Structure 1
């Protein structure tokens, strides 16, 4: 089997020695071409070339969720076609690795490599659904390129936190859960829009849901992790369904304390709830509009400011080795 191994050399939790061990282990069972990413967007280019080559059967992403997202967007550049596209495998190398953990795979890169080889020997794979974020026709964001996501997207508060974390990482800070928590506090005190919701969710056949301060779109559950603790923003989300949405209409200090506690104690059966929450399950198409331009993120990657994003939930988009 010919495989492409896409390696992010700056991944948070893998050393050069660990990468060499992993490459050797994979090369013992596969015909592997190894490419180190050199710049942002490189993994996407590599995924696209693999999809267009016609002779690559497997693409292995070694890195964090950002690397995985780029590879996925490259593989699906011409659209989803799970029967003909190369299969995807992931070896975790980031600080959180939500996608690989949501698949039920080990969070340790060495253990994940062993699980990957076992899965290849046994022919274990599944076809997963993905989310697609697009520019909304008739708006200033109409020409924004489409972007696939594997586990989450967000417009508003949570995307602002992601943007603050990226700024800190550019200054040399390590990506840790403590860093994220500090940026949550800074976003809370620095967000000029948290007192009045500017976001409206529109979907066919339903009245608009207005006044949202925060909007999180989930393609799977858990939404994220704090260390080894899973956090469930939308417990019903699944790779086998379309998209789920959690919206909040209040981010006052009491509301943040309440929802923060609910997230920390969330479970596969129960997530955030209350009269200021909006929870929607298995949506195939909807749009988020904002009266002002707000931060936007996909799979933990800050993509700037948007005032309108259209989402599509695509079932059976890509085959993944599990």
Structure 2
């Protein structure tokens, strides 16, 4: 089996020594080539090149941002072995994800351990046993995502966190909480929501202040704790949506508390939830912060979402 390991050398929870250990372990099972990212977006190019070379497996070592880039590289590759009738998952290399970031939502949602040595052991076992599963993805305009997207408040919070990290702050649950509180009380326009959700054959839902889109559950983690606005979301189904109308203190606090609970089921007059949705469009009266898989991608006024079933085969 030919494989490529795409390494983000800035991955927060690994070192050069641990990468060497990982490479030796993988080479005990596969014929391995190692490629390092040098800039944002480079993992996408490396994954696309690997798929077009006809490798059987692409392994990532990095966080959710690295995984997202690799997935987009795979999904936009021109496979040299395409045969009529093949699904996307059948014609592309399999994906394996070694957790190397601060949160690793995608890997943990697949059931992989949080720490990279344990995750590596599980992946090696999966390779020996031929264990894999096929998952669906989400697509926002021309970019794919694995576990979540956000339009509005949550994306603005991620932007704040990224700005803090560029100033040298360490990514911690506390940093996310402080950023969320600051954005809610200072940066958010809570009283004049302008987002509209449109989907085929259904009435438009207007007056939305922020929208969370999930391709699986949980949405994210705060340390070891799952946060689940849409607990029924699944890699095996289409997309789930939670939107909030006016971000009043009482209703927002109630919804956040419900999402944090051990049996999450957010409800209320200010909450809109949609389950297993194939496609929809978000439109805003003014530019809104936008994120995919925890990476801030700037501001948008319109984003078209679609579910992409049976898109990738993953080793887990």
TM-score (normalizing by structure 2): 0.95
Q: Which residue matches 2:156?
A: 160
2:95 is matched with which residue? 88
* Runs (4+) off by over 4 Å: none
- Please list every run of 5 or more consecutive structure 1 residues that lacks an aligned counterpart in the other structure: 135-145
Task: Tell me, in whole angstroms, the C-alpha distance in 1 between the residues paired with 2:25 and 2:276.
Answer: 39
User: Are residue 277 (structure 1) and residue 268 (structure 2) matched?
Assistant: no
Looking at structure 2, the residues matched to 85 and 257 of structure 1 have their Cα atoms a distance apart, in angstroms, of 43
* 1:192 CA displacement: 4.2
| Residue in structure 1 matched with residue 118 of structure 2 by the alignment | 111
> How many residues are treated as equivalent by the alignment?
308
1:177 to 170, 173, 191: 173
Within 5 Å, which residues of 2 pair with 1:154-233? Answer: 154-233=150-229
Query: 1 CA distance for matches of 2:265 and 2:210?
Result: 15
SS in structure 2 of the partner of residue 9 of structure 1? coil
Q: Pairwise mapping of residues 67-78 of structure 1 onto structure 2 (< 5 A)?
A: 67-78=66-77
2:295 aligned partner: 301
CA distance in 2, matches of 1:69, 1:308: 21
Distance in structure 2 (CA, Å) of the matches to 1:255 and 1:196? 15
CA RMSD of superposed structures (Å): 1.2
Aligned partners of 2:7 and 2:60 also within 8 Å: yes
Is the Cα–Cα contact under 8 Å of residues 153 and 188 in structure 2 kept in the other structure?
no
In the TM superposition, what are the counterparts of 1:31-46 in structure 2 within 5 Å?
A: 31-46=31-46
User: Is 1:315 matched up with 2:309?
Assistant: yes
Q: Secondary structure at the match of 1:273?
A: coil
Shift of 1:78: 4.3
In structure 2, list runs of 5 or more residues that go unmatched.
79-86
Q: Do the aligned partners of 1:266 and 1:272 also contact (CA within 8 Å) in 2?
A: no
Measure, in 2, the Cα distance between the counterparts of 1:200 and 1:48: 35
Q: Deviations over 1:59-88 (max 9, x none)?
A: 000110000000000000148711111000
Provide the C-alpha distance between the structure 2 equivalents of 1:169 and 1:28, rounded to a whole number of angstroms: 37
